[in-house]
Amino acid sequence: MNPSPHPPAPGPNPGEPEPPRDAATACVEQLRAALADHDIKLPSLTVDAPTYASTTPYAHPLVSLGNCRLDVARRLIEVLRAAGPGGRTGER
């Protein structure tokens, strides 16, 4: 298994990784906030319940982006294209 190219999210104690369930919940909130910065709302955005509840060792909850209207999908396309491949728009 290849290690993740991203460092683990910080945990409650410095140097400890954030527990996967906490990381998933935080990720959903951060994504919701980042989308809101661009007037995008994914109403079904949530942590995937079955993977969140999994007791399998090394299980990592998934983020469910859910469904959205066509105008919301088009706005998301617009924002992603403005950011460019692998880039950022510099907006905040």
DSSP state of 39: T
Examine the pLDDT at 73 and tell me if it is beyond 90: yes
Note whether residue 7 is domain-resident.
Answer: no
Q: What is the pTM of this model?
A: 0.69
Model pLDDT for residues 2-52, shown as the tens digit of each residue: 344 444 444 445 665 667 788 889 999 999 999 999 999 999 999 999 988
The answer to whether 54 and 20 are in contact (CB under 8 A) is: no
Domain count along the chain: 1
Note whether residue 70 is domain-resident.
Answer: yes
Our CA angle for 38, 33, 49, nearest 5°, is 125
Note whether residue 6 is domain-resident.
Answer: no
The parent domain of residue 71 ranges over 20-83
Examine the pLDDT at 1 and tell me if it is beyond 50: no
Q: Phi then psi for 84, rounded to 5 degrees?
A: 80, 170
User: pLDDT at position 89, please?
Assistant: 55
Note whether residue 9 is domain-resident.
Answer: no
Note whether residue 3 is domain-resident.
Answer: no
Note whether residue 13 is domain-resident.
Answer: no
